[in-house]
Amino acid sequence: MFSLRAFLCLLMGCSLSAGVTLNLAPLDAEVSPRTKTMVICNGDRAVLKCAYGVLQITDANYGRTNRRDCSGRRPVLPQNTNCIFNALAPVSQSCNGLRSCELFATTDIFTDPCPDMRSYLSVTYYCLPPEIRSSAVCENAIANFKCEDGSLIHIHAANYGRTDSSTCAAGRPASQTAKTNCYASNSQTLVANVCEGKNSCSISASNGVFSDPCYGTYKYLYTAYSCVPRFYWS
């Protein structure tokens, strides 16, 4: 099994050398959840869309909470800025788990809590990253990666070395698995050069490819990756 310490490091893309304390960096920008808010005026339609991943709705309200949005030419009195219908359930049902969804701000769908004013639908959401898969291949074996038809490989993290004493340890003397802070700094670059943007790929988990980051230690290649729909790469 991988140690939690090593998994977090590899997944979050930190750079380590022997004896260096973990400093976790954020995930790649394109897979980091970023909350967005869309306002759809009454009677209008809008499309929520993720360039990467799937939609996750965190908040949705129909009504009015300020004087600015969708006011048009009609004056909005202060007392009319606190009328809300909680629309989280219907919006979540329509959008969660999809790459895109169309929303229609209308009283045919949502209860209007302030019928005398021009209401709007406010939706807060983020794009949930696709499933991150992991692979561990022992030294001198071949790592094979393959995505479903229509999807391509995106490498999140990789390390050739050793970060725990149990992975690829069967039949090995303790002296070959004791060192658990072994990192080849070129791992992610080399794996990405071979696999990034391809439907399938193979790479040897060997010193000949990655060099030897810790002589005398039996190593393995750990890779975290996801399969991204082909049209995201166009």
d(C-alpha 41, C-alpha 35), whole Å: 20
First to last CA, the chain: 37
Task: Measure the CA angle with vertex 163, ends 162 and 168; round to 5°.
Answer: 55
* Residue 39 backbone phi and psi in degrees, to 5: -110, 125
pLDDT in tens, the chain (234 residues): 333 344 434 443 443 333 322 222 233 333 345 789 999 999 999 999 987 778 889 899 999 888 888 877 666 555 567 888 899 989 998 999 888 999 999 988 888 888 777 889 999 998 887 788 899 999 999 999 999 998 899 998 999 999 999 999 999 999 999 999 999 999 999 999 999 999 999 999 999 999 999 999 999 999 999 888 886 665
d(C-alpha 130, C-alpha 147), whole Å: 13
pLDDT given for residue 7 in this prediction? 40
d(C-alpha 156, C-alpha 51), whole Å: 17
d(C-alpha 45, C-alpha 136), whole Å: 46
pLDDT given for residue 77 in this prediction? 56
Q: Give Cα separations from 129 to 31, 178, 234 (angstroms).
A: 5, 35, 18
Q: Which of 188, 126, 119 shows the shortest CA–CA distance to 159?
A: 188
Residue ranges and CATH numbers for the domains of the chain are: 36-128 (2.60.120.740), 132-232 (2.60.120.740)
Displacement of CA 15 from its chain's centroid (Å)? 19
Q: What is the pTM of this model?
A: 0.57
Displacement of CA 113 from its chain's centroid (Å)? 36
